[in-house]
């Protein structure tokens, strides 16, 4: 049994004596033994167990042989958007889970799932228990359209729709309306294409993925046959990337319905632009201009350019969305910075499902953390939170909700470097030991919160995998937090 | 990160890994590589067992790697391995290398070649170019390491891991402050 040397100030309502006694009774690993001459053991806490959290932890652990890193995650299960955002039919993208698992299994890494920072424990308390607190909690909100009718039934953010088919507990009762033939997706990024692809994919492919059973059942009964993917600007500004577009074009049982008129004059315009944009545009043009060989497919998708939504139109009884009014735009300027300007013309599209895929958005979770409401990020420089020594951030909450896993990986390494530099320079004073997990475990116990350890997640993982095997899927996800907690505690 | 690739020893591995071949959402993945090496590996964090099946020929090919910090490491590789295999098998310590484990779902195994070597490599297929186009610090002689296979003619070649984004940004920031 080790003893915590608690010299840090204690928070209100929490006694030093209690903490020391509790620490003595539990085996808190990673804590300095009384009277030892061990090297400094900085205690670092990471808020958020997604790719940003794990990559930041990974870089800290491999670069500093004494640091103890504890990852706190709101849900009982780790991995964030790798589990809940990456599409079910993109399993290879989820391979990064293996490296996160390696990180989590290290002795100097702790995982505490089912802990909501901001309510179960405050950031102030974390700052007292740890030398550094790194906010990596991503973007749990979504950008709103800001148009009338947005609140009607049948309108969903892509975040919620993706959360629904990927098993986010809070989205399991979404019940999107898949009874109408036409669905409209607003936004032309990779998430928009994911939604379109899941709506139109052949069932024989979907049912072999880790898509949730509930959403698969609903999609089986879906009558959606036509998906319009709408963007305010033109083909040269689409935010999706070529691999995902290629996947849509080749999707069995579907055909693209692109309008060749959208591509007039583009062949010359793309000659001198950077290769990635050039290839993407050329692929789009090819899909628009070539007639599909063989018989026409049952399902269709199209990219509708230069259209900006102004109203979501209700059904006659006003109970749900039945259509959308789109203003026609034109471009001012060119290239990546072209702006869409209204022309005055409008058109209306009848549809039963509208998915708004215009971006995720970070939210403030604790008053102790500065938050820039306009940009919806934590103000920072190189991952150091401004005006808040001891606080750092990584991932989407630091840069904004864009980029792939590799972008977040590099960003997380950057933040870890900032933390390490500050430890080295003394900017972060790690000479005085902090209680770290000891204090947190005592605090959470006192508040009736039971954290889920990584071993607990591995039990959930085993159950999901076993259930998946029974039905020919990589896993059958648990979608209820209570089920997760039950399994984790077995 | 490269040394940290561990396959969960469970049935999860096989169905997940075979999916790119069976499903692929009908996109034919022209993955020009030997049997899915990842399916056959289980690696502890601290050991460096090279589990990749040795090629019939025992010839060892010397390759020099320059990492993100400009440091040089020399190692030997077996004909037929991909350069990602080499980095993993030899535990070369490149931060964040090979995140998707060779499945053409990322660009983190991006390597820069000398022009004379680059010109002799097998041509790129669309799927590699699609991912390469998203890589940081792309050059005219860039390829994805998971798609380049070691051959005798590569003996003595030098490949470069692109400079860390970290460094580029810090340099920009400090010059801005001055």
Name every chain A residue with its beta carbon within 8 A of the beta carbon of B136. 410
Q: Which CATH architecture has domain B68-164?
A: Roll (3.10)
Share of chain A above pLDDT 70, in %: 91
Measured CA to CA, the distance from residue A237 to residue A250 in angstroms comes to 22
**pLDDT value, residue A306:** 97
User: pTM of this prediction?
Assistant: 0.84
Residue B10 has pLDDT above 60, yes or no: no
Residue B166 has pLDDT above 70, yes or no: no
Helices (H), A270-338: 275-289
H or E segment and range at residue A249:
helix A242-249
Residue A424 has pLDDT above 80, yes or no: yes
Q: Which residue has the higher pLDDT, B138 or A467?
A: A467
**8 Å CB contact of B27 and A103:** no
**8 Å CB contact of B23 and A405:** no
**pLDDT value, residue B54:** 45
Name every chain B residue with its beta carbon within 8 A of the beta carbon of A211. none
Categorize the per-residue pLDDT at A295 as very low, low, confident or very high, splitting at 50, 70 and 90.
Answer: low
**pLDDT value, residue B108:** 93
**pLDDT value, residue B68:** 85
**pLDDT value, residue A3:** 39
Kind of pairing between the strands at B110-113 and B157-160: antiparallel
- Residue ranges of A 41-70 with Cβ closer than 8 A to chain B: 55, 58-59, 62
Write the residue in A90, A91, A250 that is nearest to B26 by C-beta. A250
Pick the residue from chain A with its C-alpha nearest to B174: A382
Measured CA to CA, the distance from residue A118 to residue A105 in angstroms comes to 26
Residue B96 has pLDDT above 50, yes or no: yes
Measured CA to CA, the distance from residue B2 to residue A482 in angstroms comes to 36
Pick the residue from chain A with its C-alpha nearest to B43: A102
H or E segment and range at residue A488:
helix A481-488
**pLDDT value, residue B163:** 75
On average, the pLDDT of chain A sits at: 92
Residue A11 has pLDDT above 60, yes or no: no
The answer to which of A63-67, A158-162, B56-60, B117-121 has the lowest mean pLDDT is B56-60
Name every chain B residue with its beta carbon within 8 A of the beta carbon of A475. 12
Q: Which residues pair with B157 in a beta bridge?
A: B63
Measured CA to CA, the distance from residue B97 to residue B107 in angstroms comes to 9
Tokens of A269: 């315009």
Distance set, CA A390 to CA A78, A109, A330, A368, A429 (Å): 24, 19, 47, 12, 9
Categorize the per-residue pLDDT at B164 as very low, low, confident or very high, splitting at 50, 70 and 90.
Answer: low
**pLDDT value, residue B59:** 67
Measured CA to CA, the distance from residue A122 to residue A365 in angstroms comes to 9
CA angle centred on A151, ends A148 and A152, rounded to 5°: 95
Q: Which residues, 6+ apart, have CB-to-CB distance to B172 below 8 Å?
A: none
What is the mean pLDDT of the segment spanning A257-279? 92
**pLDDT value, residue A76:** 98
What is the mean pLDDT of the segment spanning A370-376? 97
CB proximity A204 to B under 8 Å:
no
Categorize the per-residue pLDDT at A190 as very low, low, confident or very high, splitting at 50, 70 and 90.
Answer: very high
Residue B176 has pLDDT above 70, yes or no: no
Pick the residue from chain B with its C-alpha nearest to A55: B96
Residue B15 has pLDDT above 70, yes or no: no
Q: What is the DSSP letter of A92?
A: G
Write the residue in B5, B101, B130 that is nearest to A242 by C-beta. B130
């Amino acid at each position: 049994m080790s003893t915590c040397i608690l010299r840090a100030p204690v928070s209100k309502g929490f006694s030093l004596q209690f903490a020391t006694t509790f620490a003595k009774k539990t085996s808190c690993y990673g804590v300095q033994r009384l009277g030892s001459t061990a090297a400094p053991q900085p205690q670092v806490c990471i808020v958020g167990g997604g790719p940003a959290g794990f990559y930041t932890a990974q870089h800290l652990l491999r670069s500093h042989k004494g640091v103890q890193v504890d990852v706190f995650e709101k849900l009982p299960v780790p991995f964030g958007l790798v589990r809940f955002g990456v599409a079910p039919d993109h399993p290879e993208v989820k391979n990064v889970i293996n490296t996160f698992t390696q990180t989590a299994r290290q002795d100097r890494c702790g995982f505490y799932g089912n802990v909501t920072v901001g309510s179960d424990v405050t950031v102030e308390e974390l700052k007292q228990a740890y030398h550094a607190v790194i906010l990596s909690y991503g973007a749990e909100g979504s950008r709103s359209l800001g148009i009338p009718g947005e609140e009607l039934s049948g309108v969903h953010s892509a975040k919620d729709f993706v959360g629904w088919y990927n098993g986010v507990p809070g989205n399991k009762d979404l019940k999107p309306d898949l009874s109408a033939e036409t669905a409209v997706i607003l936004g032309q990024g990779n998430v928009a294409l994911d939604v379109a692809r899941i709506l139109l994919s052949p069932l024989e492919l979907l049912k072999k993925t880790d898509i949730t059973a509930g959403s698969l059942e609903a999609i089986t009964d879906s009558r959606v046959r036509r998906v319009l993917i709408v963007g305010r600007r033109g083909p040269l500004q689409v935010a999706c990337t070529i691999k995902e577009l290629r996947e849509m074009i080749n999707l069995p049982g579907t055909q693209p319905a692109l309008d060749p008129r959208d591509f007039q004059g583009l062949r010359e315009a793309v000659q001198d632009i950077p290769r990635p944009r050039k290839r993407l545009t050329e692929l789009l043009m090819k899909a628009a201009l070539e007639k599909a060989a063989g018989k026409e497919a049952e399902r269709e998708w199209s990219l509708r350019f230069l259209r900006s939504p102004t109203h979501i139109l209700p059904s006659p009884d006003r109970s749900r969305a039945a259509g959308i009014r789109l203003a026609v735009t034109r471009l001012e300027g060119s290239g990546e910075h072209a702006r869409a300007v209204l022309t005055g013309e409008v058109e209306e599209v009848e549809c039963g499902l509208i998915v708004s895929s215009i971006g995720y958005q970070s939210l403030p979770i604790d008053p102790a953390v500065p938050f820039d409401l306009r940009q919806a990020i934590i103000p920072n420089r190189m991952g150091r939170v401004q005006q808040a020594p001891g606080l750092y951030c990584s991932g989407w909450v630091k840069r904004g909700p864009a980029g792939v896993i590799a972008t977040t990986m590099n960003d997380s390494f950057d933040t870890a470097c900032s933390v390490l530099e500050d430890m080295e320079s003394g900017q972060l004073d790690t000479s005085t030991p902090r209680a770290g997990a000891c204090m947190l475990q005592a605090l959470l116990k006192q508040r009736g919160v039971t954290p889920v350890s990584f071993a607990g997640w591995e039990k959930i993982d085993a159950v999901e995998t076993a259930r998946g095997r029974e039905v020919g899927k990589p896993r059958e996800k648990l979608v209820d937090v209570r089920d997760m907690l039950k399994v984790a505690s077995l | 990160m490269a040394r940290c690739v561990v396959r969960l020893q469970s049935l999860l591995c096989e169905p997940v890994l075979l999916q790119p071949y069976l499903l692929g959402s009908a996109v034919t993945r022209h993955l020009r590589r030997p049997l899915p090496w990842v399916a056959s590996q289980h690696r502890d964090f601290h050991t460096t067992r090279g589990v990749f099946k040795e090629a019939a020929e025992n010839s060892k090919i010397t390759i020099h790697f320059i990492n993100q910090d400009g440091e040089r490491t020399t190692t030997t590789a077996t004909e037929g391995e991909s350069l990602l295999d080499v980095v993993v098998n030899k535990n070369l310590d490149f931060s964040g290398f090979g995140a998707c484990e060779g499945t053409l779902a990322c660009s983190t195994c991006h390597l820069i070649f000398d022009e004379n070597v680059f010109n002799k490599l097998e041509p790129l297929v669309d799927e590699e170019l699609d991912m390469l186009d998203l890589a940081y610090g792309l050059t005219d002689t860039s390829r994805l390491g998971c798609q380049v296979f070691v051959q005798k003619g590569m003996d003595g070649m030098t490949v470069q891991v692109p400079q860390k984004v970290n460094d580029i940004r810090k340099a920009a920031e400090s010059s801005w402050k001055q």
